[in-house]
Structure formats: C-alpha cells, structure tokens
C-alpha cells in the first residue's frame, strides 16, 4: 500500500511526525529538517537545525563538517519529494549528480545549534509512471 498525501500542505513542521519520516532517517533523532514551506509548485523553503555535535558528521577544527551540509540537502530533497510532490514513500531517491560550493565561514561553529534555511527551486518536474518523478534542483542555503 502506497503512503501518499494528495496535496502538499503549505507548511509542514517537526511537530508533524510525517516530516521526520519523509527525511529518510531510521534514527529520527538525526533528522535535521524542522519545517517545509511551499512557496509555489516548484519552490520550497526548508528550515533545518544543525546540532553542535553530530555522531556521524563530527565537527572539524574549523567548525561544522561540510558533509553535514550535503546531508542537509539530501534530507531537504527527500522531504520535498515525499511531502511536497506526492512521491510514494516506497520509492527510493537516486541522484545522478550533486555539486556543492560551501563558503568556509558558513561552517564556523558557535556555542548553540545553528539555524539553516535552504531555498530550493525545482526545474523541470517530470512525472513518471507509478508516482516517481525526475527533477533538477538548485538550492541556496543561508545560516
């Protein structure tokens, strides 16, 4: 049985247990996404919380691990796919290409968890049979 929502809500928050399921993590404590906001059919803003320390993406001597950013993008696209684009939960995500540029100073740590926002624009969204989709995404993160 496919788990779907029929119309993406304008706003999903961490209080909704579904957002944690959409992030694709077995350990729900590792979910970074705290909110998904749909601006239009192809534009979303995703709010995330970076913990001061992370069991897998350990901080470097200069601050946050750059792989934490990559994981943030992965979780964001997962939440958008399942929570915003009606992709069945049984479908897996696959990537053909991922390129990132990170400004080093954006990774400098502080004494409290960091709030991060990722603005995502999808172009073009192509629906395939059985509910799968194909899209290219351009994401810009701020902290």
pLDDT value of residue 143: 87
pLDDT value of residue 14: 56
Mean pLDDT of 128-137: 84
- Between CA 59 and CA 65 the distance in angstroms is 5
* Res 93 pLDDT > 90: no
* Res 111 pLDDT > 70: no
pTM recorded for the entire structure: 0.85
Mean pLDDT of 132-141: 89
pLDDT value of residue 113: 87
CB-based contacts of 1: which residues, under 8 Å, 6+ apart?
none
């Amino acid at each position: 049985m496919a788990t779907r929502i029929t119309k993406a809500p304008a706003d999903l928050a961490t209080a909704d247990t579904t957002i944690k399921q959409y992030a694709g993590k077995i350990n729900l404590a590792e979910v970074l996404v705290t909110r998904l906001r749909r601006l239009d059919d192809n534009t979303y803003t995703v709010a995330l919380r970076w913990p001061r320390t992370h069991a897998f993406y350990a901080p470097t001597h200069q601050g946050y691990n750059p792989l934490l950013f990559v994981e943030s993008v992965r979780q964001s696209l997962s939440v958008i796919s399942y929570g915003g684009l009606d992709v069945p939960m049984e479908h897996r995500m696959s990537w053909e290409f991922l390129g990132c540029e990170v400004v080093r100073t954006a990774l400098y740590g502080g004494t409290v968890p960091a709030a991060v926002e990722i603005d995502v624009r999808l172009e073009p969204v192509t629906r395939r049979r059985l509910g799968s989709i194909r899209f290219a995404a351009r994401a810009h993160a701020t902290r």
